[in-house]
Structures are given as C-alpha cells and as structure tokens.
Amino acid sequence: MDVFQAIIQRYSCRSYDPRPIEPEKLTKLLEAARFAPSARNCQDWRFVVVTDSDTRTKLCEAAYDQKSFTEAPAVIVACSNSNHVMRCGQPVAPIDVAIALEHIALQAVELGLATCWIGSFYPDKVKAILGIPADINIIELMTVGYPADLQPAPKRQPLETIACFEKWSF
Ligand SMILES: Cc1cc2nc3c(=O)[nH]c(=O)nc-3n(C[C@H](O)[C@H](O)[C@H](O)COP(=O)(O)O)c2cc1C
C-alpha cells in the first residue's frame, strides 16, 4: 500500500470487532511510532498499550463513556515527559506525540486495522487507573482494532481554502 492510499483510507473508527490484535501487529504499530521524528530527536514519548478488558472499561468511564473503549481490543495512551518549549514558542510534547500517533494510525491502515484519536478524557482519571506519575503529560489516547463499521465519506475543505503559494492570500 502506498502512503497516500493509507492516508485517504484512514478514518476515525468508533465501532470495533473485539477480536484481539496479533502481537506482531501491535509491535509494528509501536515501531512505526518509534521511527517518527521528534524535536532534537529527544523521543520523549511514552506509550502505554492497554488490552485488558477491565482496564479498558475503566478508561471508558475516564473518556466520557465513549463506548468504543470497551470494544477496541487496544487503547494506546500516549504520554510525554517533556516540558520543553521550542524557540518558536510551541511546546514539543503535543507535536512530537501527535506525529508518532499519526504514524501509528497510518501503519494501522496498512495492517487492516482502524484507529480513532481520543482527546476527550480526564487526564487525572487516566493517570490514576494506569499508575502514570503526576509529572507525565498524557497527550492523547488512541483506540485501535479491527473495524466493525465502514469508512464514512471524508469531509474536507477544498485545497484552495487551506493552502496558498508564496504569500498569505487567504
Ligand atoms: C486531536 C484529536 C482529538 C480527537 N478526539 C476525539 C474524541 O475524543 N472522540 C472521537 O470520537 N473522535 C475524536 N477525534 C476524531 C475527529 O473527530 C476526526 O478525526 C474528525 O472528525 C475527522 O474525521 P476522520 O478522522 O474520520 O477523517 C479526534 C481527532 C483528533 C485529531
């Protein structure tokens, strides 16, 4: 599968077949994250992969009862131990972790899996459930599994409304 194909086939999956993900596929997803770029190559991301059903049920409650948590055979809790702010003024942690998570999302497509980014959760509740130290930032969660729904038609703005050439001309 070429990269663009994976990009256009990725969608936010909210209904999963509960069958487990093969361990080698889970490893490949994490390897895809490992090879992501990061500011100063610090690689300050940390990923907690939750497959245990009872723990996913607890995470479901911590994520405003998004039911896909109980169906998806894996939830990736993406964290960072960086508080570094780049010279441009932007924090490293959410950027680096987001790139790595999108590597996971695209690799998942190639493996026949689907994902959903999850930003709607209580970080303190997730920390308590998983024993994540207070000084670690949880950036995002991601559900992963075999899809039980179909890809909806992607809704995107036309290219000319989001990109211009040479000078700002929006
Ligand atoms: C940072 C981020 C946080 C998101 N949080 C949630 C979430 O908590 N729950 C959810 O169902 N979808 C969540 N989404 C999915 C978006 O709603 C989805 O990406 C968007 O509607 C575009 O649809 P698509 O991913 O199917 O192309 C999130 C996406 C991103 C990038």
For residue 43, give both structure tokens: 């690689």
Say what percent of the chain tops pLDDT 90.
99
Q: Is 8 in the pocket of ligand 1 (CB under 6 A)?
A: no
Burial of 157 (0-12, 13-18, 19+ CB in 10 A): exposed
pLDDT of residue 169: 96
Helix axes 23-34, 92-110, angle to 10 degrees: 140
pTM assigned to the model = 0.97
Q: Tell me: the pLDDT tens digits for 105-135? A: 999 999 999 999 999 999 999 999 999 999 9
Q: How far apart are CA 99 and CA 141, in angstroms?
A: 13
What's the whole-number average pLDDT of the chain?
97
Q: What are phi and psi of 76, to 5 degrees?
A: -100, 125
| Residue nearest ligand 1's atom 27 by CA | 11
pLDDT of residue 91: 98
Ligand 1: centre distance to CA 70 (Å): 18
Q: Tell me: the pLDDT tens digits for 24-60? A: 999 999 999 999 999 999 999 999 999 999 999 999 9
Q: How far apart are CA 47 and CA 104, in angstroms?
A: 11
